[in-house]
Amino acid sequence: MNDIELDSILLAIADPTRRAILAGLAAGPQRVTQIAEPFPISLNSVSKHIRILERANLVHRRRSGKEHILSINPSSLDEAAAWIEEQRTLWAWRFSTLDALLQKEDQ
């Protein structure tokens, strides 16, 4: 995963509306109008959020006649989670090493 892809995923999930859209799609594919129903914002605003999720490759859109059906793409989240886990592991090792050095210095 390159930095631009990671940036777009992190930007997409930084917004609570987009996280709620993803949570709703976790139950299965939905029409755009279904996704928009629970939000107190316009359909146009929800569509803008969806476009950000699409750019981050977090959702897929397919057309069925006039209807637009969205489904979640968990692989992008998996890639971001893997990057976060790598960072967590690296920083845990660094802090552990620093702690050992400080304890040795105290003795």
59-100 pLDDT, tens digit per residue, is 999 999 999 999 999 899 998 999 999 989 888 888 888 888
Read off the tokens for 52.
């950000």
Q: Rounded to two decimals, what is the model's pTM?
A: 0.81
The whole-number pLDDT of residue 94 equals 85
Helices (H), ranges, the chain:
3-13, 16-25, 32-36, 43-55, 74-106
For residues 84 and 70, is the Cβ–Cβ distance under 8 A? no
Q: Is the pLDDT of residue 32 over 80?
A: yes
Amino acid at 63: R
The whole-number pLDDT of residue 33 equals 94
Amino acid at 71: S
